Amino acid sequence: MADLSITTEIVGLNAITSGMAGITKSVETMRQSAANAARALSDFGQSMSLKITAPLTLLGKASIDAEAQMNKLSVIFKTATGSAASAGKELDFVRKVANDMGIPFAEAAEQFGRLLISSDSMAKNLPVARGVFVGFSEALRATGATSSQIALAFNALSQMSSKGRVSLEELSQQLGDHLPGALKFAAEGMGKTTGELLKMIEKGEVTADVLLPRMASALHKTFGEGAKEAAELWPAVFARFQNSLFGLRTVSYTHLMGHVGWAKESSGGVAVA
């Protein structure tokens, strides 16, 4: 009876995970449809000279918050990369990795952007920075980190980078609390034993610009394949679903606000319900 109960729970969880994946695809389809529908609504309203601001009711606080967060990310990445075009490319990259790995896009993107701002060498060498983001994303997903742990781990990386030289507290506690074996993988990436790395850290000989790319490479070798499997499990599926909702909210805000702006203008600046 116990074996039957466990089997039933596993089958049930797999069914939920599969169902959530289907819902995520549906939400993404809704996001694309929302953009098309909002454009059509705006065109229809203008052709009929409708003086309405009812679309405001469709926005909701969630859409406004999502748009504000997206604007914040755009500013961070533009500051880090030096142009809006480069910022857009890096945000698209982060979005793809976040969805592939099943990690929270907005939180991870903010910390990755801050990592770029705090490290001139990474900002000037984006392929290296991307490798850092991928390696740590894979490790965090494969080790079963929660969304909050993932965000905190990337926050630890940006803090390490901003200070330049790596401290034992940052590596073994701030990062190690969310990524098991952080010290071990740091030593492996540097081609040192744990003891040798500790001595280097004590002498202030380890910089984040050198350590993080090498550590990310070691993490990729260890967790790359495992991360692909973990990306199909429930936590990753749910994070991917939340990313789709975030995208849907930003699209809804952008296009519907365009329609509301036109409606207010056509009514002489007076909102008419």
pLDDT level of residue 16 (50, 70, 90 thresholds): low
C-alpha torsion 24→29→32→35, nearest 10: -90
Instruction: Determine whether 109 is exposed, middle or buried from the number of CB atoms within 10 Å of its CB (0-12, 13-18, 19+).
Output: buried
pLDDT of residue 186: 95
Closest C-alpha to 5, from 18, 144, 13: 13
What confidence score (pLDDT) does residue 272 get? 41
Note the pLDDT of residue 232. 84
State the pLDDT at residue 22. 57
Mean pLDDT of the chain: 77
21 token code pair = 């994946």
* Res 214: pLDDT: 95
pLDDT at 139: 94
The pLDDT-based confidence of 50 (bands split at 50, 70, 90) is very low
Task: Report the pLDDT value the prediction gives residue 11, as an integer from 0 to 100.
Answer: 47
pLDDT of residue 199: 94
pLDDT digits (tens, 9 = 90+) for 207-261: 998 999 999 999 999 999 998 888 888 888 888 888 888 878 777 555 555 544 5
Q: Give the lowest-confidence range in 62-76, 176-190, 197-211.
A: 62-76
- Distance, in Å, from the CA atom of 253 to the CA atom of 59, rounded to the nearest integer, reads 6
pLDDT at 14: 55
In this prediction, residue 202 carries a pLDDT of 92
**In the numeric block, which tokens belong to residue 15?**
């069914």
Over residues 17-42, the pLDDT tens digits come to 555 555 555 545 555 555 554 555 44
- Token pair 């329609």 is found at 259
